[in-house]
Amino acid sequence: MGQDVASGGDPQADRENVIRNAERTDPGMVRRHAQQRLVSMVAGPIWVGVSVLVMRLYFRYRIADVRRVRASYRRIRAESKAPLLICANHLTMVDSFLIAWALGSGLYWLLHPDELPWNTPERKNFGRTRLQRFLIFVAKCIPITRGGAREDVGEVLERVKYLVAQGETACIFPEAGRSRTGRVEENAAAWGVGRIVGAVPGCRVLCVYQRGRKQTTWGDWPEPGDTLDVSIACIEPKSDARGVRRSRDLAQQIVRQLMRMEEEHFDARK
């Protein structure tokens, strides 16, 4: 048993406090977020459509049993209006696109734009040129420099906390970077994801395990023509700990869930 957050016990009211606090302490961030959200929504038909076409026609990826995956996702969404953070294993630079595509069709995301997850790509990979920065701005990305100045990392986490509290969602990789061993590693887990979950009362976590059938380890993208197996599970991490211990505890719960899903993935292929 654990508590979501030290509060009066009303998660909705607590989430509204998170939002009001952000509006009061960082109105610039709130304004920038609203602008980027609007641009992304307006440009959605273009960038979402192009992304789907590139994955389907250029890379020729397939999501195995995609209807079942998407139906499961819609069912999880329908079960509760509580905030939802997506956490997934990380093997390639295009995981965010693959995960979004697995969870919903291009048309689904155009009709439910606030459900389309925000992402936090590594600035060194995706934010080096002006064109890259423009494209990721349009594509709902908030670049982060892993290992960068703590204030900058903290600002990104605060923004993700804010957007999740107000009902949008983000896709975060608890391992932070792509797994160099090709497997989910508990000791590689960063605690930023735990910080977000711990700060948004009632936050659920949609764990997504995805892997190409030809994928043996990390890389830039799955081999063209690959079929990806995707499994999802919704958890509600809780912790009685406080401070950074609480964030680490929550992050570890998420990573352990992903490790279980990975084990099931490989067991199913024996």
Partner 1 sequence: MDRAEVMDRVVKILTPWVKDEAALAKVSMETNILEDLKVNSARLVDVVIAFEDDFDIEIADEDVDQVNTVGDAVNLISGKL
- Binding of partner 1 at residue 24 (CB under 8 A)? no
Decide if 86 contacts 117 (C-beta within 8 A). Answer: yes
8, 57, 58, 151: residue in contact with partner 1 (rule CB under 8 A): 151
| Least distance from partner 1 to the Cβ atom of residue 188, Å | 6
- Binding of partner 1 at residue 142 (CB under 8 A)? no
Q: Which stretch binds partner 1 (CB under 8 A): 14-22, 52-60, 119-127, 142-150?
A: 142-150
Residues forming a β-bridge with 210: 230
Give the rounded distance of the alpha carbon of 238 from its chain centre: 19
State the Cα–Cα distance between residues 64 and 217, nearest whole angstrom.
Answer: 19
Q: Which stretch binds partner 1 (CB under 8 A): 13-21, 135-143, 164-172, 189-197?
A: 189-197
**Would you give the DSSP letter of residue 114?**
G
Strands (E), the chain: 62-63, 84-88, 118-119, 170-172, 204-212, 227-235
- Binding of partner 1 at residue 149 (CB under 8 A)? yes
Q: Compute φ and ψ for 125, nearest 5 degrees.
A: -90, -35
2, 9, 45, 154: residue in contact with partner 1 (rule CB under 8 A): 154
33, 195, 204, 211: residue in contact with partner 1 (rule CB under 8 A): 195
- Binding of partner 1 at residue 146 (CB under 8 A)? yes
State the Cα–Cα distance between residues 215 and 222, nearest whole angstrom.
Answer: 7
Per rule CB under 8 A, count of chain residues that contact partner 1 = 24
Q: Which stretch binds partner 1 (CB under 8 A): 70-78, 185-193, 212-220, 225-233?
A: 185-193
Strand 204-212 to strand 227-235: parallel, antiparallel, or no bridges (unpaired)?
antiparallel
Token output for 185:
């590693």
| Least distance from partner 1 to the Cβ atom of residue 246, Å | 8
147, 214, 217, 240: residue in contact with partner 1 (rule CB under 8 A): 147
- Binding of partner 1 at residue 6 (CB under 8 A)? no
19, burial (CB in 10 Å: exposed 0-12, middle 13-18, buried 19+)? middle
- Binding of partner 1 at residue 188 (CB under 8 A)? yes
189, 203, 205, 207: residue in contact with partner 1 (rule CB under 8 A): 189
The beta-carbon contacts of 241-245 under 8 Å, at least 24 apart in sequence, are 244/191
- Binding of partner 1 at residue 176 (CB under 8 A)? yes
Q: What is the dihedral of CA 152, 153, 155, 156, to 10 degrees?
A: 120
103, 165, 199, 228: residue in contact with partner 1 (rule CB under 8 A): 199
| Least distance from partner 1 to the Cβ atom of residue 158, Å | 9
Best CA proximity match to 142, nearest among 255, 29, 28, 26: 29
Binding site for partner 1 (CB under 8 A): 146-151, 153-154, 175-176, 188-191, 195, 198-199, 242-245, 247-248, 251
